Amino acid sequence: MNYVNKYDLIIKNGIVVDGSGSPPFRADIGIVGDTIVKIGDLSNTRAEKIIDASSLIVAPGFIDMHNHSDIGIFLVPTADNYIMQGVTTVVIGNCGSSPAPITDRNEEAMKIRLKKLIEKLGRIPWRTYTEYLSELDRLEKSINIAPLIGHGAIRSAVLGLEDVQPSEKELNEMKKIVAKAMENGVFGLSTGLIYVPSMYAKTWELIELAKVVSRYGGLYASHIRNEGVRLIDAVMEAITIGLESSTGVEISHLKASGIAAWGTVSTALGIIERYAARGFDVSADAYPYAASSTGLEAIFPTWVREGGTPKLIERLKQSEVIDKIIRYIERIG
């Protein structure tokens, strides 16, 4: 089909960076509807609208692959903050955290987490992850969404926020949740192994759930169990989960926190590169800045966080608990 003189939009004189690794080049871009139909010299061509991009870079939209806009997108569907930075796709559901499924076991914790959504809508309009995806689809969004389902949400829906291990029946229930999510278009499973309740999961549990993900060609993305002095062990756990389940692995925001761990990132990268060279699908992402952010509760020992934030707050009212926490923090540095 010949689109000459029929373009809806021409972006002229831009410096094109096409994402292929090829050197940048100057070109015009002809667009019909929502489709780029020609890249080249369109100087003698007309269009309904022309944008002069002289001295500007024209590139495909960026993908923010570690994002936590699971609820924020409902509050600001236009996502101006992303679009104005050139981000057109976000991967949500990271670090084991997603806003569904909701059951009697985790409903109170979810209400705390989804407070801003409740303030806007007056309710949480979903219980299952499928219902969450349906609500997401109904939004008139300006960006693309690639969702992961969070292990923390799955585990809390089945087991609550306690330090317990699943029975065979409970594990099968979690597997069914993962399978249903994958069938509905989720890209994979995420874990946040420093957060309640994912921190209570043993490696074997994660392998079993990742096996379900593997059947659908999905991804295992992990905020690994330790980003400090036990970084290497945590990286190896993520790789082991991928190997045992035949699932590709993405290690989230790879870093070494704390002076005692500085320098170990190069060792971790070496391990990742060696496994990748053998043909295993493993990679890592990193912040483009020398900082990180998480909830204050993440610094507390496992035992004081069991049961979630309300129980943590109650424990912090006890002086003997405070003394024990101080000794713990001083011991680990």
Burial classification of residue 46, based on how many CB atoms lie within 10 Å of its CB (0-12 exposed, 13-18 middle, 19 or more buried) = exposed
Residue 279 resides in a domain = yes
Instruction: Name the 3-class secondary structure at 28.
Output: strand
Question: From CA 328, how far away is CA 333, in angstroms rounded?
Answer: 9
What value does the CA radius of gyration of the chain take, rounded to a whole number of Å?
23
The reply to whether 91 and 201 lie within a common domain is yes
Residue 183: pLDDT above 60? yes
pLDDT tens profile 262-320: 999 999 999 999 999 999 999 999 988 888 888 888 888 888 888 888 888 899 999 99
As given in the structure block, the two tokens for residue 191 are: 């874990």
Residue 88 resides in a domain = yes
pLDDT tens profile 151-176: 999 999 999 999 999 999 999 999 99
The reply to whether 73 and 178 lie within a common domain is yes
pLDDT at 332: 66
The reply to whether 106 and 248 lie within a common domain is yes
The reply to whether 68 and 22 lie within a common domain is no
pLDDT at 1: 44
As given in the structure block, the two tokens for residue 197 are: 């309740």
Higher pLDDT, 44 or 133: 133
Q: Would you tell me how many other CB atoms lie within 10 Å of the CB of residue 267?
A: 13
pLDDT at 161: 94
Residue 197 resides in a domain = yes
Residue 1 resides in a domain = no
Task: For residue 207, give the amino acid letter.
Answer: I
Counted domains in the chain: 3
Residue 326 resides in a domain = yes
pLDDT tens profile 193-252: 999 999 999 999 999 999 999 999 999 999 999 999 999 999 999 999 999 999 999 999
The reply to whether 286 and 320 lie within a common domain is no
The reply to whether 12 and 66 lie within a common domain is no
Question: From CA 214, how far away is CA 218, in angstroms rounded?
Answer: 6
Residue 148: pLDDT above 60? yes
pLDDT tens profile 83-137: 999 999 999 999 999 999 999 999 999 999 999 999 999 999 999 999 999 999 9
The DSSP secondary structure of 79-135, one letter per residue, reads -HHHHTTTEEEEEES-TT--S----TTTHHHHHHHTHHHHHHHSS---SSHHHHHHH
In 216-294, where does DSSP find H-type helix? 231-245, 264-277
Query: 327 is in which domain, residue-wise?
Result: 299-333
pLDDT at 333: 57
Domain boundary among 43, 58, 73: 58
- Band (pLDDT 50/70/90 cuts) for residue 3 is very low
Beta bridge partners of 89: 63, 144
Mean pLDDT of 68-76: 96
The reply to whether 51 and 111 lie within a common domain is no
pLDDT at 44: 87
